[in-house]
Amino acid sequence: MISLISFFIVFLDQLTKYLILKNFNINETVPIINNVFHLTLIKNTGAGFGILKNFNFLLIMISIAVIGIIFYYFKKIKENQLLLQVLAAFILGGALGNLIDRARLGYVVDFLDFRIWPVFNIADSFVTVGIIGLIVYLWKKG
């Protein structure tokens, strides 16, 4: 289950990034809902919110370590823990999607621009939803 969902997330993430790279120039923006939601191609050489800019090798190593930790802990999820499987798949798929960008391009392709928030991508969305879901799950459980 985890691998199938993760694969779909990586596929969707990489497909959307491919389409954006083929059709946009860097920093080009196209309003979808004017001043609310734009598609804006950004090369993100840092981590979330622009931290660690231009430390690509370090970010790749951190990503690999995080993915390893995810594999280690989430292999222990039982079959009947469907919610945990889905949340693990969200985090893993998103982390892999951004790792592919860093390794292949030297930066992460970001393009979802809500104007009041830093530009992000599909992978970021799944990682965020997965982590928030995991925090809520653990908080309610414990």
pLDDT tens-digit profile of 80-115?
899 999 999 999 999 999 999 999 999 999 999 999
Catalytic residue among 13, 101, 110, 113: 110
Reply yes or no on whether the pLDDT at 141 is more than 90: no
Range of the domain at 134: 2-141
Q: Which two tokens stand for residue 43?
A: 């090369």
Of residues 89, 99, 101, the one with CA closest to residue 127: 89
DSSP state of 78: -
Catalytic residue among 13, 101, 113, 124: 124
Of residues 94, 102, 105, 118, the one with CA closest to residue 59: 102
State mean pLDDT over 13-35: 98
As for how many domains the chain has, the answer is 1
13 assigned to active site: no
101 assigned to active site: no
Q: Which two tokens stand for residue 110?
A: 């970001």
Looking at residue 49, its pLDDT comes to 64
Could you report the per-residue pLDDT of 29-74, keeping only the tens digit for each? 999 999 999 999 999 999 876 678 889 999 999 999 989 998 888 7
Looking at residue 89, its pLDDT comes to 94
Task: Identify the bridge partners of residue 38 per DSSP, sorted by sequence position.
Answer: 31, 113
